[in-house]
Structure 1
Amino acid sequence: MHLPNFNRNSKRTVLSTLVVGLAFGYASLSSAIAQNAAPAAPKAATVPSFPCGGLNPIGVQLKPIPKLSNGEFTNPGADCAMWQTFIYLNWPAKSGQRGIPDTSALFGAPGTTVWESFLTEEQVFLPNGAKPQPWDNSVVNAALPKDIASEVAVGGVRMLTRTAKVSPTVAKLQATLKANKSLTASTTIPLDEITQSDGNILYDQQKNPVYYDVAMNKAQYDYITKNSLYNATSQATFAKKTNIILPSGSIEVKAAWKVLTATEASSGRFHVAKGFIPGASGGKSVTIGLVGFHIFASGGKQNAGLWATFYQVDNAPLMGATPKQNYSFNNPASKTPVNTKGTNPTQVVQVFPDDVNAAQVNTQAQKMIVEGFAKSPWQYYAMIDTQWSKTVLNLATPVPLSVPLSPGKPGDISTNTLINPVLETFMQTKGNSCMGCHSFATTAQKGSKTATGFSFMFGSAQAPK
């Protein structure tokens, strides 16, 4: 009982109740979205200070968010829904139970969060298409030091092997599209810039690279393992008969981590975790801070789902604004061109401001977080925007479904520009977005044009040898 209610007349009701509902009720929430659930009735009492919902704000409650289609889901409602999801994902996890929040803990208390207890892409898509571990098992990597391996297995230590937010498979995507003549001058997604690797690494002001982390919840894991989609051969066979579509309730997250200085680590302004960088000399342990966070909550076969991106407020200034401090990825005194590949450190600016609606919800959410736990580092995080489609989709037919997927006409998308400066530093141009990029996600089969329900994960599958 540690965080406040959003009603002015009841100042000490806790947010832990909210998060419990999200933890155990997200599947029903997403299912309700897919089934066009009706909005919950608003409270008769004082309007909460953290409005959430569609045409009729319903406050932060343990009830399904109104449907996404037919214009009944508003931008503020989508922003609030994804802030709620962010809170659930970053709540301290219950020890020994993947994906379950510890409701006795404060929101912002040190330790492994709910999403950090999820299985990562590397733990599910194994070499030679091997079957992944059961969800609740803690399989230890024998190649790691024993003390590190046990913590990596349960999510207590992040394995820092990626300087790209997507798998190496995606780095080859542009060449494949060119070979298939699918990439034209009108394509708005510069896929060669997605990876932030091969010279496109993002470096902080201490000249350390940013590391990326990709994980999935149990709903997504269950779908992948039930259908043997971790195996490239089985995946190709499956996709000939049935389209790969993540079910409602699936959540996929991508995180960006910065190696923290001692001052940053003790500042209280970052969600802090332990990281391990493998190396020839046995590797090294580092203290890392979360600087960027993508969420994709699938909407199932009839919806493109909800997409949102968050950032730590000390990352970089807004383009054109007068810098008021030194930032993690910007030195106001530097003459280095901004957002330029191959520079170390990288001089970053946020090209597009936070959406107006998102900015208002940010203020409300941050206020609520502080009221619940004054020292919570989550008060220093904000949402850029949420992206969603106003159109009801049909991802089930035809079979197979080819890329790029379309959420409808351009006007049917809530926003066609959604970029995170530390996840897509070098592609901050108008028309680039989460949904637009992920519409090109395909199966692992060489030269494939078969869509995978907006998820690049499936491209990491390998075939048995």
Structure 2
Amino acid sequence: MNLKTTFSKKIFWIGLAIIPLAVIAAKTEFGNKKSAYTSIPASQTNTCNCYSTSLPSTIIPINFNNTVPGDLFSFTVQPQADCFAWQEFIALNWPTDPNASFGAPKDLNFVQWETYMPREVLFPDDGSKPPAWGTLVSNEYSSLFKSQKLLLKKTQTKLLTFVSKIEENDAEVNFSPNQAEPFNKPSWLGAQNSTNVWYEIMLNKDYYDFIVQKGFYNAQVQHDTVKLNQPINFPQGQYGTKIVGAIELKAAWMEVTDIKSPKWQRYKLSNATVLDPITKKLRTTVVALVGLHILHKTQNQPTWVWATFEQIDNAPDQSNLSGTPPSQYGYNFYNPSCTNQNVTIKTATGDSTKVVSCKPNTPPPYYLNQAGPVPTQTTRINKIDPIDAAPINALMQQNIQKFYPNSVWQYYQLVDVIWSQQPEPDPQKPIPIPRKINQSSMSSGASIVANSTMETYVQSSKTCFNCHVYSSIAPYPPDSTNNNKFGDFSFALSFAKYPSAQSNQKKKSIKK
């Protein structure tokens, strides 16, 4: 830790002499901010302290309400980042139904972040302005499936699809994100109940407003901006204000096949419409949240705060495969009695057989539209940080159980948080990818941070920012020289399209 960090840390500890005032101030800043949803009055807000046993003097007040913090007063040690992540997690997962309890079992209503805008809706295929905030299904997508007579309520439907391309009504559809890697190869994850994991990327209001106000839903506008020597920097959240800053979330959902099982009282559940990979038909189902990335840009962390959570039953540590599972229901993605599986898949030249191995964290050998999903074996390679994350998880799970005894959120855990000890300011002009940041200043509890449901197959080689330094603006053929300009750590930005006339011209040239 450098001298500046050490000095800041000492000042912070001295300030603990007035911790009661700090807690009162934090309640005001976190608890009384107005929101798009009904806020719980301050007198009814449960509050607890968050701290690590390694640094018990580093106390962060946690408020149980729907107010997402814009920033932390200071990032100097790992426990602060971990506690900030838990505050985000609680607020983002707050129920939108004002009469609902926090984490009520089998409550299928959306929590706050589920009302954010899907990446596919924010960036229409023709480069046009996205629909109004609150829209979860675009008109273009809904029109593709009119023949199926399945009503897609545009502000109430969670639409989950698989990574592939299909031809439907002569329209090419690009579907939702999947695993981080491998690229251009099968990378789906099969649960022990023989269903695949579904993924989605959601973007908050500050992210949406920035894209709409700047016109960055159009790839051409992105390029025109960088040609004027102006960088694309997302808004930063600010401590003690109503400015939340840009937030990007990626969620992993496991399909529920036995809704009556008491197992699901340990999970956040939602109704979802999914595109079946075999039938290519939409169907409704219930899904259980098993993983959640929270990427948040703040004033104190302009290189973003990278937090990731999982349901505690997902997978065992690779170093302790003989350990007892967290519950009687076993693991979601690991079977101690696993045997290799022969799967018959369909190919252009006829049926063939592929073997799904029991070797942990091995990518599947076929695409989902070639055969149905089967269980894939998963273990956690990087143990959850025992110094800070593990004790903070135990503390927060105890507090959730104390305030909301039946809450499903007591069965979730922080995997880790990445943050910068030496924050680097936003670029003042467009820069090429990869962005060169001081990687030695990027701090976390483990040297490699990976979510077992979203980085299953790259847990030992990369961490979040290693990939995201390659985020770029959207490609635009008339200005290919600027396709490599940095997109402020958000891959979602690169999904913007250019105007439909040019897009159609491109498709015609490809067909020729």
TM-score (norm 1): 0.76
| Deviation for aligned residue 1:65 | 2.0
Question: Of 76, 81, 84, which residue of structure 1 is paired with 2:87?
Answer: 84
> Amino acid of the residue matched to residue 303 of structure 1?
P
**Matched residue SS, 1:320:** helix
> Amino acid of the residue matched to residue 239 of structure 1?
V
> Amino acid of the residue matched to residue 470 of structure 2?
F
| Deviation for aligned residue 1:168 | 7.1
Cross-structure match for 1:28: none
Cross-structure match for 1:395: 426
Cross-structure match for 2:202: 215
User: Residue deviations 1:122-149, cap 9 Å, x none?
Assistant: 1111111111012146766344567641
Q: 2:278 matched to 1:243?
A: no
Cross-structure match for 1:67: 74
| Deviation for aligned residue 1:396 | 2.5
| Deviation for aligned residue 1:157 | 3.2
Q: In structure 1, how many angstroms separate the alpha carbons of the residues matched to 2:331 and 2:304?
A: 33
**Matched residue SS, 1:149:** coil
Structure 1 segment 294-313 matched on structure 2, within 5 A: 294-299=293-298, 303-313=302-312
Q: In structure 2, how many angstroms separate the alpha carbons of the residues matched to 1:319 and 1:255?
A: 23
User: Residue deviations 1:385-406, cap 9 Å, x none?
Assistant: 1100112213232x21122223
Structure 1 segment 42-61 matched on structure 2, within 5 A: 49-51=49-51, 56-60=58-62
Q: 2:289 matched to 1:290?
A: yes
Cross-structure match for 1:317: 316
Question: Of 391, 394, 397, which residue of structure 2 is paired with 1:363?
Answer: 394
**Matched residue SS, 1:127:** coil
Q: Quick check: which one's strand share is greater? A: 2
| Deviation for aligned residue 1:282 | 4.1
Question: Of 406, 415, 427, which residue of structure 1 is paired with 2:436?
Answer: 406
> Amino acid of the residue matched to residue 213 of structure 1?
E
Q: 2:337 matched to 1:340?
A: no
Question: Of 323, 326, 332, which residue of structure 2 is paired with 1:328?
Answer: 332
Q: In structure 2, how many angstroms separate the alpha carbons of the residues matched to 1:419 and 1:341?
A: 16
Cross-structure match for 2:274: 277
Contact 2:274 2:282 (8 Å CA) reproduced:
yes
**Matched residue SS, 2:317:** coil
User: Residue deviations 1:189-247, cap 9 Å, x none?
Assistant: xxx95257632211112332211000011000000111111111111111233111111
Q: In structure 2, how many angstroms separate the alpha carbons of the residues matched to 1:54 and 1:251?
A: 29
**Residues 313-322 or 53-62, more deviating:** 53-62
Q: In structure 1, how many angstroms separate the alpha carbons of the residues matched to 2:163 and 2:33?
A: 31
Question: Of 113, 116, 125, which residue of structure 1 is paired with 2:114?
Answer: 116
C-alpha RMSD of matched pairs (Å): 3.3
> Amino acid of the residue matched to residue 338 of structure 1?
P
| Deviation for aligned residue 1:17 | 9.3
> Amino acid of the residue matched to residue 454 of structure 1?
F
> Amino acid of the residue matched to residue 410 of structure 1?
S
> Amino acid of the residue matched to residue 73 of structure 2?
P
User: Residue deviations 1:58-110, cap 9 Å, x none?
Assistant: 42258862233xxxx2111111111110111111115xxxxxxx3x4311131
**Matched residue SS, 1:382:** strand
> Amino acid of the residue matched to residue 386 of structure 1?
V
Q: In structure 2, how many angstroms separate the alpha carbons of the residues matched to 1:59 and 1:371?
A: 16
Cross-structure match for 2:455: 424
Contact 2:82 2:389 (8 Å CA) reproduced:
yes
User: Residue deviations 1:161-186, cap 9 Å, x none?
Assistant: 1349xx87999xxxxxxxxxxxxxxx
**Matched residue SS, 1:226:** helix
Cross-structure match for 2:484: 449
Question: Of 252, 255, 258, which residue of structure 2 is paired with 1:256?
Answer: 252
| Deviation for aligned residue 1:410 | 1.4
Cα 1:373–1:55 change in 2 (3 A) is: closer
**Matched residue SS, 2:62:** coil
User: Residue deviations 1:311-366, cap 9 Å, x none?
Assistant: 01111111021142431111111141110111642100000111121111111111
Unaligned runs of 5+ in 2: 1-25, 37-46, 165-173, 237-244, 340-357, 366-373, 502-512
Q: 2:211 matched to 1:227?
A: no
Q: In structure 1, how many angstroms separate the alpha carbons of the residues matched to 2:270 and 2:219?
A: 33
Unaligned runs of 5+ in 1: 1-14, 26-46, 95-101, 172-191
Question: Of 93, 104, 107, which residue of structure 1 is paired with 2:102?
Answer: 107
Cross-structure match for 2:159: 159
Cα 1:56–1:193 change in 2 (3 A) is: closer
Q: In structure 2, how many angstroms separate the alpha carbons of the residues matched to 1:391 and 1:264?
A: 50
Contact 2:301 2:419 (8 Å CA) reproduced:
no
**Matched residue SS, 1:410:** helix
Q: In structure 1, how many angstroms separate the alpha carbons of the residues matched to 2:304 and 2:57?
A: 19
**Matched residue SS, 1:386:** strand
| Deviation for aligned residue 1:288 | 0.5
Cα 1:144–1:169 change in 2 (3 A) is: closer
| Deviation for aligned residue 1:417 | 1.4
Cross-structure match for 1:461: 496
Contact 2:308 2:416 (8 Å CA) reproduced:
yes
